Amino acid sequence: MSAVSQNAAREPVKIDSSISYETPHAYYKSLREQCPVAITDIGVFVVLKHRYMDMLLDNANTRQFELEGMMLRGISSGPLYEFYRDVMLFANGDVHKRRRAPMVRTFAYKLMDGVRPRVREIAGEVIEAHRGKGPVNFLDAFSRAIPARIIAEIIGAPPSDWEKFSKWVAAAARGIGFFQNDELPEIDAGVAALGAYVEELLNDRRAAPRDDFLTSYARATASAGDLTENEIRMQMAGVILAGADTTRTGTASVLSQLLQHQDQWALVCEDPDKWKKAAVEEGLRYDPPVGSVPRFTLRELEIEGVVIPEGRVVSMSVLSGLRDPDVYPDPDRFDIRREGIPRWNIAFGGGSHRCLGEALARAEMEESIATIARLAPNIAMIGKPPTIKGAAAIRHIDAMTVEFS
């Protein structure tokens, strides 16, 4: 990527968004082979090659969306609007730093490794509860339950609350993916309920401090003193929502690929601790839960002759970059034995907004897969494997049924 040169004169390839929704990988492959940059019918530039994703890293070239998404939908008030206005994900510069800083230590790798035994325990409980009982909706019973129960424990919610809490999360999480405006009342209700719940927990810790994450978060935000009450609540809601559908899709996606490649599932079952990391890495590459990461250009940019003007929406197609043959040879092959892959997995984004929950998500997915391999190696997928639809933002997984025997 460079500043514009004299001979920049290449047109981006045109993208048909309706095709890319159902069969994104084959379609993006055909685009990528024509040009490293595509353009949608509404003028969004889509970056297709892995090597240009570093544009994400550079706040001098692009900036994050703020309230533009809400404005385009004509939403100017209400709980979801206030979430977008106050959360770290949709902020830039110092505002973003202030919101992110009090959370960073908690979600650091070392501390998140501490949740692994608990993930194994919960995964074991879920497996035993469903063993021998016939077909199970894997998305609800397992891959939604694990992140919901773990994040509830991290924030110190009473154990009996997780199911109630999980319903609000499921409704509210739709607000950070693609949604129809008629879904807004339900999304708003979910965000409002979650915000009120978090407020209650925070007030409880302020009155009676404990040795837990929420107490230290309440202290960190009180001593910094520069976040509003709603900002404090919305960072909490943000970590809960950002980790819900993404980890649910990620776990299901990894397991479904492994079960469709029984030779590789056999490897994982032989030595779950040896293979769990590689299995998750490859699963996220093969079908990532987040398809793209959008930004605004802050100056005119050029990619192999295609000029992207200043002030335009540019979408880093993580999904396309993860199948870029320059980086992943034979990219349409699912193979947990891949070697020499980049240390930076762009499935978690990059730059200052790089996923805050990566260590937690990895711990949850790796230990989930390892526990299934250990306790239920004969797990069977019933019916057709899940399809992960969409190429942009948080993608949608349709259904996955399994039997634990």
Write out the residues near ligand HEM by the rule CB under 6 A: 88-89, 100, 107, 238-239, 242-243, 246-247, 250, 289-290, 293, 347-349, 353, 355-357, 360-361
**Taken in order 276, 292, 3, 37, is the CA torsion positive or negative?**
positive
CB of 87 to ligand HEM, least distance (A): 8
Q: Compare residues 351 and 403 and give the one whose CB is closer to ligand HEM.
A: 351
Residues across the chain: 405
Query: What gap in Å lies between CA 169 and CA 3, rounded to an integer?
Result: 42
CB of 34 to ligand HEM, least distance (A): 25
Q: Compare residues 35 and 317 and give the one whose CB is closer to ligand HEM.
A: 317
Cα angle at 199 between 155 and 168, to 5 degrees?
A: 70
Q: How does strand 45-47 pair with strand 380-382?
A: unpaired
Does residue 243 sit in helix, strand or coil?
coil
Q: Report which of 62, 66, 64, 68 is spatially closest to residue 299, judged by C-alpha positions.
A: 62
Q: Compare residues 113 and 304 and give the one whose CB is closer to ligand HEM.
A: 113
* 118, 150, 372 from 146: Cα distances, Å: 10, 6, 13
In the bound complex, which residue of the shown chain has the CB atom lying closest to ligand HEM?
357
Cα angle at 217 between 212 and 223, to 5 degrees?
A: 130
* 272, 281, 368 from 262: Cα distances, Å: 14, 18, 18
- Judge contact between 44 and 16, C-beta under 8 A: no
CB of 66 to ligand HEM, least distance (A): 12
CB of 204 to ligand HEM, least distance (A): 21
Q: Compare residues 65 and 265 and give the one whose CB is closer to ligand HEM.
A: 65
Q: Compare residues 35 and 351 and give the one whose CB is closer to ligand HEM.
A: 351
Query: What gap in Å lies between CA 352 and CA 329, rounded to an integer?
Result: 29
Q: Compare residues 156 and 305 and give the one whose CB is closer to ligand HEM.
A: 156
CB of 98 to ligand HEM, least distance (A): 11
CB of 378 to ligand HEM, least distance (A): 26
Q: Compare residues 35 and 386 and give the one whose CB is closer to ligand HEM.
A: 386
CB of 207 to ligand HEM, least distance (A): 26
